[in-house]
Amino acid sequence: MAEHSHDHAASGHDHAHDHGHDHDHTHDHGSAPAKLTRNQTLVFGALSRAGGPLTAYTILDQLRDDGFRAPLQVYRALEKLVEFGMVHRLESLNAFVACSHPQCVDHETMAFAICESCGSVSEFADAAITRQLKGWAGDNGFALAKTTIELRGTCRTCQAAV
Amino acid sequence: MAEHSHDHAASGHDHAHDHGHDHDHTHDHGSAPAKLTRNQTLVFGALSRAGGPLTAYTILDQLRDDGFRAPLQVYRALEKLVEFGMVHRLESLNAFVACSHPQCVDHETMAFAICESCGSVSEFADAAITRQLKGWAGDNGFALAKTTIELRGTCRTCQAAV
DNA sequence: TCAAGGTTGTAATGTTATAACAAGAATTGC
DNA sequence: GCAATTCTTGTTATAACATTACAACCTTGA
Ligand SMILES: [Zn+2]
Ligand SMILES: [Zn+2]
Ligand SMILES: [Zn+2]
Ligand SMILES: [Zn+2]
């Protein structure tokens, strides 16, 4: 799987955690709570450090020393983090990535470009696409809950490195 | 997902595929061959009959009587059918669906609306979205290989049936 | 204090997908 | 016809991803 890449992707956001062990960041992402639980903090820390997508089992392995023993500990934390808008699930990768969108206003309609060579992920929003999809939904009486937009291909860096 | 029996996460819509059982369809889908192998025919038949998405294991169960014994028999056929442009993989469902687009010209950039209530899937193409995504790729030096666009929500029928 | 609700730990299990290898069928070239 | 090649198949085993179920433990707030 793709647990590589310290590439770009997840940088530039202000989550700026110091995952020592303290949990008092104060952000405002979607319905994010004032305070994360210990497990949520650890999982989010792992994803932030990685700067790219990780599978649940990779996260589990990275958190063994912090006392993690079972997949469910990771999946439960991920579920909440996604709910809070701090993490995205990448369906085509069965992996998770920390949100890197500056203000991630429309957390349910972000798009992701995934490099199949280096595994890096770029998160972006495109108003025209969102508008178009909502338009289709409206025209077809479809009550849209969430959209998945994932591009697969080769990033600029990897193409240059031929 | 539901259990590993015969449940078909789908139904609800009637694609009225003509692929009843006969296998001399003369598709022009992508790089489809003149003739499918026995296993490919059986798998495609199962998907066509279903008229909606099926998981590989559900297909396996449906083809026990035809001699199928192992997942790989299904996965291998699916791999080819996707390659031929006759089947799509739905990433957010880990399932597969027969292509229902009239001419499915741009097989790699179709969009799917998946009803979370009844499991029905509508396949559609939207030139504006495709253009927009290709535009982003061009602007960012990303060599686009394939896009995944999946909408989750509730279809018109299910909303009416409240 | 006590109940209610959320979080955690753990084991067991369920679900989706691939690796590895052997054997069979179709295709090609001679 | 008869290899050589290539594609397809059958089968076993295993890897990778995800959830159910249950008991224990906190926290919050009557
Ligand atoms: Zn985001
Ligand atoms: Zn790359
Ligand atoms: Zn199609
Ligand atoms: Zn529906």
Report pLDDT digits (tens) over A18-47. 333 333 333 334 566 668 999 999 999 999
* Own/partner pairs, B30-35, CB within 8 angstroms, 24+ separation: B30/B83, B30/B84, B30/B85, B30/B86, B30/B104, B30/B107, B31/B83, B31/B84, B31/B85, B32/B84, B32/B85, B32/B86, B33/B84
Residue A23 lies in a domain: no
Based on the fold, state whether residues A83 and A43 are members of the same structural domain: yes
Average pLDDT over residues A100-121: 87
Residue A11 lies in a domain: no
Residue B19 lies in a domain: no
Would you state the pLDDT for residue B109?
Answer: 86
> Which ligand has its closest atom nearest to the C-alpha of A143?
4
Based on the fold, state whether residues A92 and A42 are members of the same structural domain: yes
Residue B15 lies in a domain: no
Residue ending a domain, choose from B59, B74, B98:
B98
Read off the pLDDT band of A106 (50, 70, 90): confident
Read off the pLDDT band of A51 (50, 70, 90): very high
Based on the fold, state whether residues B91 and B115 are members of the same structural domain: no
Q: Specify the number of domains making up chain B.
A: 2
Residue B29 lies in a domain: no
More confident residue, A138 or B33: A138
Q: Do A92 and B155 touch (CB under 8 A)?
A: no
A41 CB-to-strand C distance under 7 Å: no
Instruction: Identify the residue among A82, A142, A155, A159 best suited for mutation to test binding to B, counting B beta carbons within 10 A and taking the highest.
Output: A142
Would you state the pLDDT for residue A22?
Answer: 33
Residue ending a domain, choose from B60, B78, B98:
B98
The answer, yes or no, to whether residue A100 has pLDDT greater than 70, is yes
Based on the fold, state whether residues A88 and A123 are members of the same structural domain: no
Which chain A residues touch B151 with a CB distance below 8 Å? Answer: 133, 136-137, 142, 144, 146-148
Q: What is the token pair recorded at A162?
A: 């031929």
The answer, yes or no, to whether residue A15 has pLDDT greater than 90, is no
Residue A150 lies in a domain: yes
Based on the fold, state whether residues B73 and B93 are members of the same structural domain: yes
Q: What's the rounded Cα separation, in Å, for the pair A127 and A144?
A: 16
Residue ending a domain, choose from B47, B72, B98:
B98
> Which residues lie below 8 Å from residue B30, measured CB to CB, with a gap of 6+?
B83, B84, B85, B86, B104, B107
Residue A147 lies in a domain: yes
C-alpha B69 – ligand 3 centre gap (Å): 28
Residue located via tokens 């996707």:
B82
Whichever domain contains A64, its CATH number is: 1.10.10.10
Q: What is the token pair recorded at A158?
A: 């990897």
Based on the fold, state whether residues A81 and A132 are members of the same structural domain: no
Average pLDDT over residues A50-62: 97
CB A9 within 8 A of CB A123: yes
Percent of chain A with pLDDT strictly greater than 90: 72
CB B62 within 8 A of CB B73: no
Whichever domain contains A117, its CATH number is: 3.30.1490.190
Which chain A residues touch B116 with a CB distance below 8 Å? Answer: 145
Average pLDDT over residues A46-69: 97
Q: Do B148 and A145 touch (CB under 8 A)?
A: no
Residue A95 carries which side chain, given as an amino acid letter?
A
The answer, yes or no, to whether residue A8 has pLDDT greater than 70, is no
Residue B131 lies in a domain: yes
Q: Which residue is nearest to nucleotide C8 (CA to C1')?
A: A73
More confident residue, A137 or A3: A137
B4 CB-to-strand D distance under 7 Å: no
Would you state the pLDDT for residue A107?
Answer: 82
Residue located via tokens 């939207």:
B126
For residue B127, the enclosing domain spans 110-160
Would you state the pLDDT for residue B25?
Answer: 36
Based on the fold, state whether residues B44 and B86 are members of the same structural domain: yes
* Distance of B73 CA from C25 C1′ (whole Å): 16
In terms of CA atoms, which chain A residue is nearest residue B135? A126
Low-confidence ranges of chain B (pLDDT < 50): 1-30
According to DSSP, the residues that pair with B112 across neighbouring strands are B123, B150
Q: Which nucleotide is nearest to A1 (CA to C1')?
A: D16
pTM of the model: 0.84
Q: Which residue is nearest to nucleotide D26 (CA to C1')?
A: A37
